[in-house]
Chains A and B, each alone.
Chain A
Amino acid sequence: MNDVVFTATNVSVQRSGIDVVQDISVTLHRGAVLAIVGPNGAGKTTFMKAMLNLIPSRGSITWARGIKIGYVPQKISISRSFPLTVREFFLLKSKKSFWFHKKENKNTWLDRVGGGHLADKKMSELSGGELQRVLIAYALQGDTDVLCLDEPSAGIDIGGGKTVYGLLSDLRTDHGKTIIIISHDLDVVFRYADEVLCIDKHQICHGRPASVLTAETIERMYGTHASLFSHNHEHHEHA
């Protein structure tokens, strides 16, 4: 639990000469769930892309040696006329032949996340929830250590969102995966995250959700209209 898998020190990202993310520092330990929160346009996705080295950034980003990363982007639009099946999608990451392979779903990540029945469907025909399940399974294929998810419940209904978060919770408890997740939903943060990183272009807070997500930090991120109220049955505070 104490192995550090990722460290970011004073990470900044510029676009057209303007800082869109400024001086973010965070350390993540193996098996932990880190939630990145902030209002729209706060730079959450930009920071995640900088972490993954998808865009240039300043500062220092260090991943532990040999760490395997899986990424599930916020939006993926597969053309309806692209007939790639789910099984073929997984073969892209496998050493099995793309052209000659047995139809086998047992003990694959797709099967483990409850998506085995989707194997012969076209990727473009999946519902939002099914697609997220498939993308998470794909990101996990190949002994992935760290799963990075950019708003996995965006664009899917409440039931689908709950299923996705339930799945992530299982992945953490049953498989010890380290998870970095961008979310708008503070309820999700309180339920599933060990640590939260609050950003609004610059870093507002970082630490355990119950400790750092105070009325003051929420107000700094979302403005004076946002406030906290508590649910007795959850024993947590929510925005």
Chain B
Amino acid sequence: MNMLEVIQLPFFQRALIVGVLMGVTAALLGVFVVVRRMSFFTDAVAHASLTGVALALLVGINPIFGALAISIFVGLLVARLQQTGKQEVDTIIGVLFSTTLAAGVLLISLMKGYRGNLFQYLFGDIIAVSPVDVWVSLVLLAAVSVVLFFTFRSLTKIAVHEDMARVDGVRVGLLDSIFLVLLAAVVAVGLKVVGAILMSALMILPAATAQYIARSFRGMIIVSVLVAAISMVGGLFIAAAFSLPTGPTIVLAAAALFLLASMRGMLQLK
């Protein structure tokens, strides 16, 4: 089957649409994740979602809801423990990262019978997305775009300096909570695209690539969205052409763009 035939397959078309929609959504949030140095935090939230998936499969509810609930819980717990000021944030994240992952693996071991469904949430299977997933991705992109439209300046001010933002009247706590909920929602919905293990890459790689290229923050956002869309489409076609698993191929396509951009950055330094 050649590429022209593949592109006409409805499931591949759905995968392309969901991939680009989710890639762009993750990239938009990823820009703020990267400039606020929250990459490790995002990784922890994404891994924690696996516990939510396992828990949901055990009790028999939609795994997306389980992932969403646990991601938000872990995010809020990190924020609460950070406020106490007793531990450095990377220590708190490190502890929760391994704890939730261990809990997830333990819960998986309690499940009886075939666990193929779970594998899909671990590494993603974008080819299996349904027409409903297309609508969910579209609604999520619209929601993230609307929220970012209204909070963009405040989120950027927070990224520069939290106290300066507060003096300017920004409600940092409220915005952090909104951002966390969006982050958890993108992680939960994005599980089908690349899976819990690789989800944070979908957010971080496009923004990290854009940092090497962009001369302004506006440029970083635009380049980040383009990188996400290109790696999604490129990754899907490469996966289809060589019969490779989609999630890792998409992430490696994004990583290749990152490598190219970083080489450009290194050449500029010389």
Contact = CB atoms under 8 A, between A and B. Distances in A.
Interface of A: 49, 52-54, 69-73, 76, 78-79, 81-85, 88-89, 92-93, 98-99, 122-123, 139, 148
B157 A52 contact: no
B160 interface: yes
B35 A79 contact: yes
Contacts of A93: 153, 168
Contacts of A139: 164
Contact of B152 (A52, A82, A89, A98): A98
Interface of A is mostly: loop
A134 to B, nearest CB: 11
B112 interface: no
B90 interface: no
A142 to B, nearest CB: 9
Contacts of A81: 34-35, 208, 211
Interface string B217-242: 11110000000000000000000000
Contacts of B218: 88, 98-99
Given A81-B34, A85-B216, 9 more contacts: A52-B167, A54-B166, A71-B163, A72-B164, A73-B163, A83-B216, A122-B216, A123-B160, A139-B164
6 contacts: A54-B166, A54-B167, A71-B164, A83-B211, A84-B156, A148-B167
Contacts of A73: 161, 163-164
Contacts of A78: 160
A76 B162 CA distance: 10
Contacts of B219: 83
B164 A92 contact: no
B56 interface: no
B138 interface: no
Nearest to A91: B153
B270 interface: no
A28 B34 CA distance: 41
Interface string B144-168: 0000000011001101110110111
A70 B163 CA distance: 11
Best-surrounded residue of A69, A82, A84, A99 (most CB of chain B within 10 A): A82
Contacts of B217: 82-85, 88
Contacts of A76: 160-161, 164
Nearest to B165: A92
